[in-house]
């Protein structure tokens, strides 16, 4: 069974109503990124950070997987599929994908502020000041903030190195280290890039460009691969 490794970015979830902070009027409107998405912001005002992510979590719960998420789940009928996502929502899982790696964490989980390996599934709960792990440290969002290490990146590189097909969907390919994963794909692997704004300077062997939004472009690629 051939292996497909897929990197997804904010563009695939934007069509489910989850905007990105890079868009005008996006997710982070009204907030400075350094106030809600850095360790320094957390130290300055943890109450505000918790409120911010509690609101974002409500938005994720209301959102539904779109045709692009569902099409990727269909690939598991014929391929071994690994999805590496930069998104912190759970839309891939709800669409039916069974092997999803979250490079930047998961908003539906909490972690210890002292030990990032202590993680809890939140369900319908919020995180508030005074909510602590079993060792007594305050809980924080299970999200990789700017300035923090991306603990899953080495595993993501391994999954890319061993792919027969590599797909990039809904990302500007400007956020590192995730943007560099395509360089790990084998030279003979078929590569897809699906996004309305594909950088013009890209060149890789066996590259197919689909300049479409995810809901259209992913279906085109999946239909092709399932044939």
Judge if 116 and 172 occupy the same domain: no
Can you give the CATH number for the domain in which 218 is found? 3.40.50.1220
Can you give the CATH number for the domain in which 116 is found? 3.30.1600.10
Residue at a domain's end among 118, 143, 168: 143
pTM, whole model, 2 decimals? 0.92
Judge if 122 and 215 occupy the same domain: no
For residues 145 and 170, the answer to whether their CB atoms sit within 8 Å is no
pLDDT at 26: 43
For residues 163 and 186, the answer to whether their CB atoms sit within 8 Å is yes
pLDDT at 158: 97
Tell me the per-residue pLDDT of 88-130, one tens digit each, with 9 for 90 and over.
999 999 999 999 999 999 999 999 999 999 999 998 899 999 9
CA neighbours closer than 13 Å in the CB half-sphere of residue 117: 0
Tell me the per-residue pLDDT of 91-102, one tens digit each, with 9 for 90 and over.
999 999 999 999
Judge if 72 and 56 occupy the same domain: no
Judge if 177 and 159 occupy the same domain: yes
Judge if 14 and 26 occupy the same domain: no
Tell me, yes or no, if 69 is annotated catalytic: no
Low-confidence ranges of the chain (pLDDT < 50): 23-27
Judge if 3 and 114 occupy the same domain: no
The side-by-side arrangement of strands in the sheet containing 80-85 is: 100-102, 80-85, 3-8, 165-169, 190-194, 207-210
H or E stretch at 78: none
Domains held by the chain: number: 2
Helix ranges, the chain (H):
10-14, 33-36, 39-44, 46-62, 67-74, 91-95, 153-161, 214-226
Neighbours of 111 (CB within 10 A): 21
Judge if 207 and 95 occupy the same domain: yes
> Would you state the structure tokens that stand for residue 149, as one six-digit string?
């290490």
Residue at a domain's end among 93, 121, 143: 143
Domain with 24, as residue range(s), is 19-62+110-143
Number of helical (H) and strand (E) elements in the chain, helices listed first:
8, 9
Active-site entry in 69, 92, 102, 104: 104
pLDDT at 94: 98
Judge if 114 and 199 occupy the same domain: no
Judge if 51 and 93 occupy the same domain: no
Judge if 90 and 119 occupy the same domain: no
Judge if 120 and 201 occupy the same domain: no
For residues 162 and 1, the answer to whether their CB atoms sit within 8 Å is no
Judge if 156 and 205 occupy the same domain: yes
């Amino acid at each position: 069974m051939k292996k497909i490794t897929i990197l997804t970015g904010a563009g695939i979830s934007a069509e489910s109503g989850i905007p990105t902070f890079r868009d005008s009027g996006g997710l982070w409107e009204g907030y400075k990124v350094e106030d809600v998405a850095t360790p320094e912001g957390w130290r300055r005002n943890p109450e505000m950070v918790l409120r911010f992510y509690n609101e974002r979590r409500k938005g994720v719960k209301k959102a539904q997987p779109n045709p692009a998420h569902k099409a990727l789940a269909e690939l598991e009928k014929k391929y071994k599929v690994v999805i590496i996502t930069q998104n912190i929502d759970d839309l891939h899982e709800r669409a039916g994908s069974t092997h999803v790696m979250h490079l930047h964490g998961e908003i539906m989980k909490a972690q210890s502020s002292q030990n990032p390996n202590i993680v809890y599934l939140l369900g319908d709960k919020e995180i508030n000041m005074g909510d602590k792990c079993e060792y007594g440290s305050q809980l924080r969002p299970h999200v990789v903030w700017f300035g923090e290490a991306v603990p899953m990146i080495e595993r993501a590189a391994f999954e890319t190195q061993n792919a027969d097909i590599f797909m990039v969907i809904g990302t500007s390919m400007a956020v590192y280290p995730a943007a560099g994963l395509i360089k790990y794909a084998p030279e003979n692997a078929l590569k897809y890039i699906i996004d309305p704004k594909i950088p013009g300077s890209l060149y890789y062997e066996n590259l197919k460009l689909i300049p479409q939004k995810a809901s259209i472009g992913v279906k085109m690629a999946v239909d092709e691969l399932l044939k």
